[in-house]
Amino acid sequence: MPLPRPLKTLIAVGALSLLAAGHALAEVADVAPELRGTGDLGVVIERATGSVALVDTTARQVLRHVEGFGDLSHASVKFTRDARHAFVFGRDGGLTKLDLLTGEIAGRIIQGGNSIGGAISQDGRFVAVGNYEPGGVKVFDTETLELIIDVPATYEKPDGSMGQAKVVGVVDAPGNVFVFSLFEAGEIWTLDMSQDEPELTPYRNVGSMPYDALITPNGRYYIAGLFGEDGMVLLDLWHPESGVQRILPDYGQGEERLPVYKMPHLEGWAMAGNLAFFPAVGRSEVLVADTTDWSLVGRIPVQGQPIFVMSRPDERQVWVTFAHPDNGRVQVIDTQRLEVIQTLAPGESILHKEFTPRGEHIWISARDSNQVVVYDTRTFEELARLPAESPSGIFFTHRAHQIGR
Protein backbone atom coordinates (compact mmCIF):
# COMPACT_ATOMS: atom_id res chain seq x y z
CA MET A 1 0.00 0.00 0.00
CA PRO A 2 1.28 3.53 -0.63
CA LEU A 3 2.52 5.47 2.36
CA PRO A 4 0.05 8.06 3.67
CA ARG A 5 0.99 11.71 3.78
CA PRO A 6 2.72 12.51 7.07
CA LEU A 7 0.49 14.13 9.66
CA LYS A 8 1.43 17.70 10.42
CA THR A 9 0.76 17.52 14.11
CA LEU A 10 4.35 17.49 15.28
CA ILE A 11 4.68 19.76 18.27
CA ALA A 12 8.23 20.59 19.22
CA VAL A 13 8.34 21.25 22.93
CA GLY A 14 11.86 22.42 23.62
CA ALA A 15 11.38 23.43 27.23
CA LEU A 16 14.17 22.33 29.51
CA SER A 17 12.42 21.35 32.70
CA LEU A 18 14.54 20.86 35.74
CA LEU A 19 13.50 20.16 39.28
CA ALA A 20 16.38 20.09 41.69
CA ALA A 21 16.77 16.50 42.83
CA GLY A 22 18.39 17.23 46.14
CA HIS A 23 20.82 20.07 46.72
CA ALA A 24 23.87 18.22 45.45
CA LEU A 25 22.44 18.21 41.95
CA ALA A 26 20.94 21.69 41.85
CA GLU A 27 24.04 23.19 40.28
CA VAL A 28 23.66 21.19 37.07
CA ALA A 29 20.62 23.25 36.15
CA ASP A 30 22.56 26.09 34.55
CA VAL A 31 25.46 24.27 32.96
CA ALA A 32 25.76 22.96 29.42
CA PRO A 33 24.72 19.36 28.83
CA GLU A 34 27.46 17.04 29.94
CA LEU A 35 29.42 14.95 27.46
CA ARG A 36 28.85 11.46 28.81
CA GLY A 37 28.16 7.88 27.86
CA THR A 38 24.52 6.88 27.80
CA GLY A 39 24.94 3.23 28.72
CA ASP A 40 24.20 3.72 32.41
CA LEU A 41 21.22 6.04 32.13
CA GLY A 42 17.58 5.29 32.82
CA VAL A 43 14.13 6.75 33.15
CA VAL A 44 11.70 6.44 36.06
CA ILE A 45 8.06 7.30 35.35
CA GLU A 46 6.57 9.71 37.93
CA ARG A 47 2.90 9.12 37.27
CA ALA A 48 1.34 11.65 39.62
CA THR A 49 3.18 14.64 38.20
CA GLY A 50 3.45 13.63 34.55
CA SER A 51 7.20 13.84 34.88
CA VAL A 52 10.12 11.45 34.64
CA ALA A 53 13.26 11.12 36.71
CA LEU A 54 16.47 10.70 34.73
CA VAL A 55 18.75 8.36 36.64
CA ASP A 56 22.38 7.23 36.58
CA THR A 57 22.85 3.58 37.53
CA THR A 58 26.58 3.95 38.19
CA ALA A 59 26.25 6.86 40.63
CA ARG A 60 22.85 5.52 41.81
CA GLN A 61 21.44 9.03 41.66
CA VAL A 62 18.55 10.97 40.18
CA LEU A 63 20.20 13.37 37.72
CA ARG A 64 17.14 15.54 37.13
CA HIS A 65 13.38 15.52 36.78
CA VAL A 66 11.72 16.46 33.50
CA GLU A 67 8.07 17.53 33.25
CA GLY A 68 5.62 17.81 30.41
CA PHE A 69 4.63 14.25 29.54
CA GLY A 70 0.89 14.45 30.20
CA ASP A 71 -0.90 11.47 31.75
CA LEU A 72 1.70 8.90 32.67
CA SER A 73 -0.47 6.34 34.44
CA HIS A 74 0.57 2.95 33.06
CA ALA A 75 3.22 4.61 30.86
CA SER A 76 6.03 2.69 29.23
CA VAL A 77 9.31 3.62 27.58
CA LYS A 78 11.47 2.52 24.63
CA PHE A 79 14.96 3.71 23.74
CA THR A 80 16.49 4.66 20.41
CA ARG A 81 19.28 2.45 19.09
CA ASP A 82 21.95 5.04 19.99
CA ALA A 83 20.57 5.08 23.57
CA ARG A 84 20.32 8.87 23.50
CA HIS A 85 16.54 9.31 23.39
CA ALA A 86 13.62 7.74 25.24
CA PHE A 87 10.16 7.49 23.75
CA VAL A 88 7.53 7.75 26.47
CA PHE A 89 4.08 6.34 25.67
CA GLY A 90 1.45 8.17 27.71
CA ARG A 91 -2.07 7.10 28.61
CA ASP A 92 -3.40 10.28 27.00
CA GLY A 93 -2.15 9.28 23.56
CA GLY A 94 0.96 11.36 23.93
CA LEU A 95 4.17 10.18 22.33
CA THR A 96 7.07 12.13 23.79
CA LYS A 97 10.72 11.96 22.73
CA LEU A 98 13.09 12.81 25.57
CA ASP A 99 16.75 13.70 25.10
CA LEU A 100 18.55 11.92 27.94
CA LEU A 101 21.64 14.10 27.59
CA THR A 102 20.04 17.55 27.66
CA GLY A 103 16.87 16.69 29.58
CA GLU A 104 14.91 18.44 26.84
CA ILE A 105 11.76 17.15 25.26
CA ALA A 106 12.89 16.73 21.66
CA GLY A 107 9.38 16.23 20.31
CA ARG A 108 5.87 15.49 21.47
CA ILE A 109 2.70 14.59 19.61
CA ILE A 110 -0.77 13.55 20.69
CA GLN A 111 -1.05 10.65 18.29
CA GLY A 112 -4.19 8.96 19.60
CA GLY A 113 -6.74 9.10 22.35
CA ASN A 114 -5.38 6.48 24.67
CA SER A 115 -2.15 4.61 24.04
CA ILE A 116 -0.85 1.76 26.11
CA GLY A 117 2.63 1.21 24.78
CA GLY A 118 4.70 0.62 21.71
CA ALA A 119 7.93 -0.63 20.25
CA ILE A 120 10.92 0.47 18.18
CA SER A 121 11.81 -1.49 15.05
CA GLN A 122 14.93 -3.64 14.87
CA ASP A 123 16.66 -1.12 12.59
CA GLY A 124 15.77 1.78 14.90
CA ARG A 125 13.95 3.78 12.22
CA PHE A 126 10.35 3.31 13.34
CA VAL A 127 8.39 3.66 16.55
CA ALA A 128 5.00 1.94 16.65
CA VAL A 129 2.27 2.95 19.10
CA GLY A 130 -0.67 0.75 20.05
CA ASN A 131 -3.90 2.58 20.78
CA TYR A 132 -7.03 1.86 22.80
CA GLU A 133 -8.96 4.84 21.49
CA PRO A 134 -9.30 4.84 18.56
CA GLY A 135 -7.97 1.33 18.16
CA GLY A 136 -5.05 0.73 15.87
CA VAL A 137 -1.32 1.14 15.45
CA LYS A 138 0.48 4.20 14.19
CA VAL A 139 4.09 4.05 13.09
CA PHE A 140 6.30 7.14 13.24
CA ASP A 141 9.80 8.01 12.11
CA THR A 142 12.02 7.97 15.23
CA GLU A 143 14.05 10.92 13.93
CA THR A 144 11.29 13.30 12.87
CA LEU A 145 8.14 11.90 14.54
CA GLU A 146 6.46 12.03 11.12
CA LEU A 147 3.66 9.53 10.65
CA ILE A 148 4.81 6.71 8.39
CA ILE A 149 1.72 4.52 8.41
CA ASP A 150 -1.63 4.41 10.21
CA VAL A 151 -3.05 0.91 10.67
CA PRO A 152 -6.66 0.96 11.96
CA ALA A 153 -7.58 -2.16 13.94
CA THR A 154 -10.70 -2.81 11.92
CA TYR A 155 -12.32 -6.19 12.32
CA GLU A 156 -15.56 -7.94 11.44
CA LYS A 157 -17.94 -8.48 14.33
CA PRO A 158 -20.05 -11.65 14.65
CA ASP A 159 -23.05 -9.72 13.29
CA GLY A 160 -21.14 -8.79 10.15
CA SER A 161 -20.64 -5.12 11.02
CA MET A 162 -17.17 -3.63 11.33
CA GLY A 163 -15.58 -2.54 14.61
CA GLN A 164 -12.40 -0.93 15.88
CA ALA A 165 -10.43 -2.99 18.38
CA LYS A 166 -8.16 -1.89 21.19
CA VAL A 167 -4.55 -2.77 20.42
CA VAL A 168 -2.43 -4.40 23.13
CA GLY A 169 0.90 -6.18 23.38
CA VAL A 170 2.84 -4.25 20.72
CA VAL A 171 6.37 -5.65 20.37
CA ASP A 172 9.22 -5.56 17.87
CA ALA A 173 10.49 -8.75 16.30
CA PRO A 174 13.52 -9.55 14.13
CA GLY A 175 13.15 -8.67 10.45
CA ASN A 176 11.82 -5.19 11.25
CA VAL A 177 8.42 -6.60 12.17
CA PHE A 178 5.91 -5.31 14.71
CA VAL A 179 3.50 -7.78 16.34
CA PHE A 180 0.36 -6.83 18.27
CA SER A 181 -3.02 -8.13 19.45
CA LEU A 182 -6.58 -6.86 18.93
CA PHE A 183 -8.58 -7.15 22.14
CA GLU A 184 -12.21 -7.20 20.95
CA ALA A 185 -11.34 -8.93 17.68
CA GLY A 186 -9.41 -11.81 19.17
CA GLU A 187 -6.74 -11.43 16.52
CA ILE A 188 -2.94 -11.13 16.28
CA TRP A 189 -1.43 -9.06 13.47
CA THR A 190 2.12 -8.71 12.21
CA LEU A 191 3.30 -5.57 10.40
CA ASP A 192 6.46 -6.10 8.34
CA MET A 193 8.30 -2.79 7.90
CA SER A 194 11.31 -4.27 6.07
CA GLN A 195 10.11 -3.13 2.64
CA ASP A 196 9.00 0.29 1.42
CA GLU A 197 5.47 -1.14 1.27
CA PRO A 198 4.66 -2.38 4.76
CA GLU A 199 2.97 -5.78 4.79
CA LEU A 200 0.17 -6.63 7.20
CA THR A 201 -0.65 -10.25 8.10
CA PRO A 202 -3.66 -10.97 10.34
CA TYR A 203 -4.20 -14.15 12.34
CA ARG A 204 -7.95 -14.43 12.99
CA ASN A 205 -9.93 -16.11 15.79
CA VAL A 206 -6.95 -16.76 18.03
CA GLY A 207 -8.96 -16.60 21.28
CA SER A 208 -11.23 -14.39 23.34
CA MET A 209 -9.94 -10.96 24.31
CA PRO A 210 -6.12 -11.05 24.25
CA TYR A 211 -5.23 -8.50 26.94
CA ASP A 212 -1.43 -8.47 26.95
CA ALA A 213 1.45 -10.24 25.26
CA LEU A 214 5.16 -10.84 25.34
CA ILE A 215 7.87 -11.92 22.97
CA THR A 216 10.66 -14.27 24.04
CA PRO A 217 14.15 -12.73 24.29
CA ASN A 218 15.23 -14.31 20.98
CA GLY A 219 12.21 -12.82 19.24
CA ARG A 220 10.81 -16.16 18.17
CA TYR A 221 7.62 -16.73 20.19
CA TYR A 222 4.85 -14.17 20.62
CA ILE A 223 2.54 -15.21 23.46
CA ALA A 224 -0.74 -13.51 24.34
CA GLY A 225 -2.86 -13.93 27.47
CA LEU A 226 -6.64 -14.21 27.12
CA PHE A 227 -9.12 -12.33 29.28
CA GLY A 228 -12.22 -14.07 27.93
CA GLU A 229 -11.19 -17.66 28.40
CA ASP A 230 -8.48 -19.83 29.90
CA GLY A 231 -5.28 -20.71 28.06
CA MET A 232 -2.79 -18.65 26.09
CA VAL A 233 -1.98 -18.35 22.42
CA LEU A 234 1.42 -18.66 20.81
CA LEU A 235 2.63 -17.51 17.41
CA ASP A 236 5.96 -19.02 16.31
CA LEU A 237 7.41 -16.23 14.16
CA TRP A 238 9.92 -18.67 12.64
CA HIS A 239 6.95 -20.71 11.39
CA PRO A 240 4.10 -18.32 10.72
CA GLU A 241 2.69 -20.88 8.29
CA SER A 242 1.75 -23.00 11.33
CA GLY A 243 -0.60 -20.28 12.53
CA VAL A 244 -1.44 -19.59 16.14
CA GLN A 245 -1.38 -22.45 18.65
CA ARG A 246 -2.95 -22.84 22.06
CA ILE A 247 -0.67 -23.44 25.03
CA LEU A 248 -1.14 -23.81 28.78
CA PRO A 249 -4.88 -24.60 28.45
CA ASP A 250 -5.57 -24.21 32.18
CA TYR A 251 -3.93 -20.79 32.45
CA GLY A 252 -6.38 -18.14 33.61
CA GLN A 253 -9.09 -17.71 36.16
CA GLY A 254 -10.38 -21.25 35.82
CA GLU A 255 -13.90 -22.47 36.44
CA GLU A 256 -13.99 -21.06 39.95
CA ARG A 257 -13.66 -17.48 38.63
CA LEU A 258 -11.37 -16.44 41.46
CA PRO A 259 -11.29 -12.82 42.55
CA VAL A 260 -8.52 -11.23 40.50
CA TYR A 261 -7.17 -8.03 42.02
CA LYS A 262 -5.29 -7.06 38.87
CA MET A 263 -4.56 -8.95 35.69
CA PRO A 264 -0.86 -9.80 35.72
CA HIS A 265 1.58 -8.30 33.30
CA LEU A 266 3.07 -10.59 30.74
CA GLU A 267 5.95 -8.28 29.83
CA GLY A 268 8.18 -9.72 32.43
CA TRP A 269 7.96 -13.44 31.82
CA ALA A 270 11.19 -14.76 33.21
CA MET A 271 13.13 -17.18 31.07
CA ALA A 272 15.79 -19.32 32.73
CA GLY A 273 17.24 -22.08 30.64
CA ASN A 274 14.30 -24.18 29.45
CA LEU A 275 11.97 -22.78 32.06
CA ALA A 276 9.58 -19.86 31.84
CA PHE A 277 8.32 -18.34 35.11
CA PHE A 278 5.06 -16.41 34.94
CA PRO A 279 2.32 -15.03 37.17
CA ALA A 280 -0.75 -17.12 37.93
CA VAL A 281 -4.07 -15.29 37.51
CA GLY A 282 -5.86 -14.77 40.82
CA ARG A 283 -3.72 -17.27 42.70
CA SER A 284 -0.75 -16.78 45.01
CA GLU A 285 1.52 -18.78 42.74
CA VAL A 286 4.27 -18.32 40.22
CA LEU A 287 3.86 -20.90 37.47
CA VAL A 288 6.69 -22.69 35.68
CA ALA A 289 6.48 -23.96 32.10
CA ASP A 290 8.90 -26.01 30.04
CA THR A 291 9.56 -23.91 26.95
CA THR A 292 10.42 -26.93 24.81
CA ASP A 293 6.75 -28.00 24.75
CA TRP A 294 5.11 -25.15 26.73
CA SER A 295 3.69 -27.56 29.30
CA LEU A 296 3.12 -26.52 32.91
CA VAL A 297 5.75 -28.18 35.08
CA GLY A 298 5.54 -26.39 38.42
CA ARG A 299 3.73 -24.05 40.82
CA ILE A 300 5.69 -22.03 43.37
CA PRO A 301 3.72 -20.65 46.35
CA VAL A 302 4.27 -16.93 46.90
CA GLN A 303 2.84 -14.37 49.33
CA GLY A 304 0.23 -12.75 47.06
CA GLN A 305 -1.09 -12.48 43.52
CA PRO A 306 1.98 -11.93 41.34
CA ILE A 307 2.08 -9.11 38.79
CA PHE A 308 5.63 -8.85 37.43
CA VAL A 309 7.82 -11.95 37.38
CA MET A 310 11.27 -11.03 36.09
CA SER A 311 14.53 -12.96 35.91
CA ARG A 312 17.90 -11.58 36.87
CA PRO A 313 20.05 -11.40 33.73
CA ASP A 314 22.07 -14.43 34.83
CA GLU A 315 18.80 -16.42 35.23
CA ARG A 316 19.67 -17.62 38.72
CA GLN A 317 16.93 -15.62 40.46
CA VAL A 318 13.39 -14.53 39.62
CA TRP A 319 11.99 -11.44 41.36
CA VAL A 320 8.24 -11.08 41.91
CA THR A 321 6.01 -8.07 42.64
CA PHE A 322 2.39 -8.41 43.80
CA ALA A 323 -1.12 -7.03 43.50
CA HIS A 324 -2.86 -5.11 46.26
CA PRO A 325 -3.09 -5.83 49.20
CA ASP A 326 0.25 -7.68 49.17
CA ASN A 327 2.10 -5.03 47.19
CA GLY A 328 4.42 -3.91 49.97
CA ARG A 329 6.69 -6.89 49.54
CA VAL A 330 8.89 -8.37 46.84
CA GLN A 331 9.92 -12.00 46.75
CA VAL A 332 12.95 -13.69 45.23
CA ILE A 333 12.78 -17.22 43.78
CA ASP A 334 15.84 -19.41 43.27
CA THR A 335 15.50 -20.89 39.77
CA GLN A 336 17.23 -24.13 40.71
CA ARG A 337 15.46 -24.80 44.02
CA LEU A 338 12.17 -23.44 42.64
CA GLU A 339 11.30 -21.81 45.96
CA VAL A 340 11.25 -18.39 47.58
CA ILE A 341 14.61 -17.57 49.15
CA GLN A 342 14.04 -13.95 50.21
CA THR A 343 11.24 -11.49 51.01
CA LEU A 344 11.93 -7.76 51.00
CA ALA A 345 9.76 -4.81 52.06
CA PRO A 346 11.06 -1.84 50.06
CA GLY A 347 8.06 0.42 50.70
CA GLU A 348 4.40 1.02 49.95
CA SER A 349 2.75 0.08 46.66
CA ILE A 350 5.58 -1.59 44.81
CA LEU A 351 4.85 -1.13 41.11
CA HIS A 352 7.83 -2.06 38.98
CA LYS A 353 11.45 -3.11 39.01
CA GLU A 354 14.44 -3.16 36.70
CA PHE A 355 17.75 -4.98 36.89
CA THR A 356 21.00 -3.26 35.97
CA PRO A 357 22.22 -4.72 32.67
CA ARG A 358 24.49 -7.37 34.14
CA GLY A 359 22.22 -7.94 37.13
CA GLU A 360 24.30 -6.83 40.10
CA HIS A 361 21.57 -4.46 41.31
CA ILE A 362 17.81 -4.11 41.10
CA TRP A 363 15.86 -0.84 41.24
CA ILE A 364 12.34 -1.06 42.71
CA SER A 365 9.67 1.66 42.64
CA ALA A 366 7.60 2.15 45.80
CA ARG A 367 4.87 4.51 44.59
CA ASP A 368 3.26 5.49 47.86
CA SER A 369 6.62 5.85 49.59
CA ASN A 370 7.76 8.22 46.81
CA GLN A 371 10.99 6.31 46.59
CA VAL A 372 13.05 4.13 44.32
CA VAL A 373 15.02 1.57 46.29
CA VAL A 374 18.22 -0.04 44.99
CA TYR A 375 19.33 -3.46 46.23
CA ASP A 376 22.40 -5.61 45.74
CA THR A 377 20.88 -8.79 44.24
CA ARG A 378 23.53 -11.07 45.75
CA THR A 379 23.53 -9.85 49.34
CA PHE A 380 20.02 -8.24 49.34
CA GLU A 381 21.65 -5.22 50.98
CA GLU A 382 19.84 -1.93 50.42
CA LEU A 383 22.25 0.37 48.57
CA ALA A 384 20.25 3.53 47.98
CA ARG A 385 16.82 5.08 48.48
CA LEU A 386 16.14 7.82 45.93
CA PRO A 387 13.33 10.39 45.97
CA ALA A 388 10.77 10.25 43.13
CA GLU A 389 7.19 11.45 42.74
CA SER A 390 4.89 8.40 42.79
CA PRO A 391 7.37 6.30 40.80
CA SER A 392 6.05 3.52 38.60
CA GLY A 393 7.89 2.10 35.56
CA ILE A 394 11.69 1.93 35.58
CA PHE A 395 13.57 1.51 32.29
CA PHE A 396 17.32 1.43 31.63
CA THR A 397 18.96 2.20 28.27
CA HIS A 398 20.42 -1.25 27.65
CA ARG A 399 16.90 -2.22 26.54
CA ALA A 400 17.75 -0.39 23.30
CA HIS A 401 19.94 -3.34 22.37
CA GLN A 402 17.53 -6.15 23.21
CA ILE A 403 14.90 -7.74 21.02
CA GLY A 404 11.35 -7.05 22.21
CA ARG A 405 12.30 -4.64 24.99
The residue within the footprint of its own copies, chosen from 74, 204, 246, 316 (CB under 8 A), is 316
- Nearest residue (CB) to its own copies, 139 versus 307: 139
Residue 205 falls in which region: left (phi positive, over 0), alpha (psi -120 to 50) or beta: left
Does the protein bind its own copies through residue 336 (CB under 8 A)? yes
Q: Round to whole Å and give the CA distance between 30 and 14.
A: 16
Judged by CB under 8 A, the stretch of 83-91, 127-135, 154-162, 367-375 that binds its own copies is 83-91
> Is the alpha carbon torsion for 306, 121, 395, 336 positive or negative?
positive
Tell me how far, at minimum, the Cβ of 358 lies from its own copies, in Å. Answer: 5
Regarding 176 and contact with its own copies (CB under 8 A), the answer is: yes
Q: Which residues ranging from 231 to 260 are in contact with its own copies (CB under 8 A)?
A: 238
Q: Does the protein bind its own copies through residue 201 (CB under 8 A)? A: no
Beta strands in 291-400 (DSSP E): 295-301, 306-311, 317-322, 330-334, 339-344, 350-355, 361-366, 371-376, 382-387, 391-396
Please, where are the H alpha helices in 18-156?
Answer: none
CA 37 to chain centre: 24
Q: 24: which residues sit within 8 A by CB, 6+ positions away?
A: none
Q: Which is nearer to its own copies, 256 or 381 (CB)?
A: 381
Based on the shown chain and the rule CB under 8 A, indicate whether residue 33 belongs to the binding site for its own copies: yes
- Residue 395 binding its own copies, by CB under 8 A: no
60 in contact with its own copies (CB under 8 A): no
Q: Is 380 in the site for its own copies (CB under 8 A)?
A: no
Is residue 357 within the footprint of its own copies (CB under 8 A)? yes
Closest listed residue to residue 219, CA positions, set 257, 179, 189: 179
Among the candidate windows 130-138, 170-178, 244-252, 294-302, which touches its own copies by CB under 8 A? 170-178
Binding site for its own copies (CB under 8 A): 33, 35-40, 57-58, 79-85, 100-102, 122-124, 174-176, 194, 218-220, 238, 273-274, 292, 313-316, 336, 357-360, 378, 397-398, 400-403
